[in-house]
């Protein structure tokens, strides 16, 4: 074989290889996409007190595993205990005022009942004497006295009813004061309870720099709590997601665990990215100017739930994700082989 024939042969082999690889990458990218732009994600909760005070106790250490409700740190509660005691006294005084006002109302109601009975009795007596006066058996003076007494009794009844109305208004004011005292007591109790900061979720304490003696402010984050729940997030090109839906099978290889492929599935796909969000700031749109003929592909974030337990991994641990939209086809096998090779390569890189 001449040198020219050998050269032509290698050129044909290179062209055929290039064509085969081109077809392979186009098919695999559309029907079994893979991305190294993935990472493990654990929700991180910034923990801070809801009240201000000096830190008197740090009950955890850095990277310690804590359960929900476990004490993380405590603040000086002296002022809050005094505030609670003061609120309890105010609540007791308000309760006493409320009880006293109820007794006043009961007394006024009893007085009204007596005044009503007397007014009814005198009214009947006045009617009887008036009838006797018309028959000539009673003097005018006696009839007028009976009418006056009946009118006086009715006036006394109206006065008692007016006092009852005033007592009811006073009772409403006292009840409002009692309710305000109860609310203040509850707020003081909550403030005292919040001097002991507990874990809202189960997880691991991260980047603990807190020390006793620090003056904490309400709402100021003092430590991070990393959740035990782990998901995987992967960024893939838009066109690679054409055949991907919720529930699509996924294989995941973590850089920290080379050689092992974890099974999972797509739990959700984000509906947008920040570049697609426009603020209504009253300004005109600024179009993106680019002279590139081939622009960078837009990537969307895919959330993946793992179907098997994973050893403890740091949040942000790097991973490679292989999707299998065409489960059962020969492309599924190619994707699995591709992911297996990547898992072996992680021993070296």
For 271, other C-beta atoms within 10 Å of its C-beta total 8
* Per-residue pLDDT at 135: 63
pLDDT for residue 141: 63
State the DSSP code for 207.
S
Q: Which of 72, 57, 53, 59 is nearest to 215 (CA)?
A: 53
- Average pLDDT, rounded, for the chain: 82
* Domain 45-77+197-226 fold: OB fold (Dihydrolipoamide Acetyltransferase, E2P) (2.40.50)
Q: State how far the Cα of 202 lies from the Cα of 68, in Å rounded to an integer.
A: 5
Q: Return d(Cα 223, Cα 64) in angstroms, integer.
A: 12
Q: Does pLDDT of 74 surpass 90?
A: yes
Per-residue confidence (pLDDT) for residue 150, from 0 to 100: 62
- Of residues 281 and 343, the one with the higher pLDDT is 343
**Amino acid 60: pLDDT:** 92
CA 161, CA 127: separation in Å to the nearest integer? 24
Q: Copy the structure tokens of residue 139.
A: 């003097």
pLDDT at residue 54, rounded to an integer: 92
pLDDT of residue 1: 63
Q: Which residues contact 222 (CB under 8 A, 6 or more apart)?
A: 47, 48, 49, 55, 73, 210, 214, 216
Q: Which of 316, 111, 311 is nearest to 207 (CA)?
A: 316
Q: What is the pLDDT of residues 130-176, one digit of tens each?
A: 666 566 656 666 656 666 666 666 676 677 666 767 777 777 777 88
Please write the tens of the pLDDT for every residue from 201-250.
Answer: 999 998 888 889 889 999 889 999 999 888 999 999 888 888 888 988 99
Model pLDDT for residues 14-43, shown as the tens digit of each residue = 888 888 878 777 777 778 888 999 999 999
If phi > 0 it is left, if psi is from -120 to 50 it is alpha, else beta; for residue 92 that is alpha
Paired residues of 47 in beta bridges: 223
Span 242-266, average pLDDT: 90
- The 10 Å Cβ neighbour count of residue 300 is 17
Superfamily of 30-42+229-273+297-348 according to CATH = Efflux pump adaptor protein, beta barrel domain (2.40.30.170)
Question: The tokens 């009673």 sit on which residue?
Answer: 138
Average pLDDT for 83-98: 87
Q: What are the backbone angles phi and psi of residue 97, rounded to the nearest 5°?
A: -60, -40
Under DSSP, is residue 331 helix (H, G, I), strand (E, B) or coil? Answer: helix
Torsion of CA 27, 31, 32, 37, to 10 degrees: 90
280 token code pair: 């209504």
The whole-number pLDDT of residue 96 equals: 82
List, in order, residues 6 or more apart from 263 with CB less than 8 Å away: 249, 250, 251, 252, 306, 307, 308
CB 233 within 8 A of CB 39: yes
Give me the pLDDT at residue 17, please. Answer: 84
- The rounded distance, in Å, linking the Cα atoms of 199 and 47 is 8
* pLDDT at res. 304: 94
Which pLDDT belongs to residue 318? 93
59 close to 73: Cβ distance less than 8 angstroms = yes
Cα distances (Å, whole numbers) of residue 15 to 10, 27, 131, 202, 344: 9, 18, 134, 57, 29
Pairwise pLDDT comparison (66 vs 175), residue with the higher score = 66
Average pLDDT of 243-265?
A: 91
Question: Can you give the pLDDT at residue 278?
Answer: 74
């Amino acid at each position: 074989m001449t040198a020219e024939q050998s050269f032509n042969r290698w050129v044909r082999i290179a062209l055929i290889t290039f064509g085969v690889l081109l077809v392979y990458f186009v098919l695999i990218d559309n029907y079994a996409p893979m991305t190294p732009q993935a990472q493990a994600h654990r929700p991180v909760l910034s923990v801070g007190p809801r009240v201000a005070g000096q830190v008197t106790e740090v009950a955890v250490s850095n990277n310690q595993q804590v359960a929900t409700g476990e004490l993380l740190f405590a603040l000086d509660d002296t002022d809050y205990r005094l505030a609670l005691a003061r609120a309890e006294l105010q609540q007791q005084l308000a309760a006493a005022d409320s009880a006293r006002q109820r007794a006043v109302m009961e007394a006024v109601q009893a007085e009204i009942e007596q005044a009503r009975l007397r007014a009814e009795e005198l009214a009947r007596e006045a009617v009887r004497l008036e009838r006797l006066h018309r028959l000539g058996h009673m003097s005018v003076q006696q009839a007028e006295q009976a009418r006056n007494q009946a009118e006086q009794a009715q006036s006394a009844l109206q006065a008692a009813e007016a006092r009852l109305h005033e007592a009811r208004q006073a009772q409403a004011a006292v009840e409002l004061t009692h309710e305000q005292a109860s609310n203040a007591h509850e707020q003081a109790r909550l403030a005292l309870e919040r001097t002991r900061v507990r874990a809202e979720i189960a997880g691991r304490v991260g980047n603990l720099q807190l020390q006793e003696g620090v003056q904490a402010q309400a709402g100021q984050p003092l430590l991070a709590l990393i959740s035990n729940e782990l998901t995987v997030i992967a960024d893939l090109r838009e066109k690679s997601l054409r055949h991907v839906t919720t529930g699509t099978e996924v294989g995941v290889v973590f850089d920290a665990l080379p050689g092992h492929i974890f099974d999972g599935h797509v739990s959700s796909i984000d509906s947008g990215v920040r570049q697609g969000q426009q603020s209504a700031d009253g300004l005109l749109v600024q179009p993106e100017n680019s002279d590139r003929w081939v622009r960078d592909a837009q990537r969307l974030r895919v959330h993946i739930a793992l179907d098997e337990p994973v050893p403890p991994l740091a949040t942000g641990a790097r991973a490679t994700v292989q999707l299998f939209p065409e489960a059962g086809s020969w492309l599924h096998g190619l994707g699995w082989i591709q992911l297996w090779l990547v898992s072996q390569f992680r021993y070296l890189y």
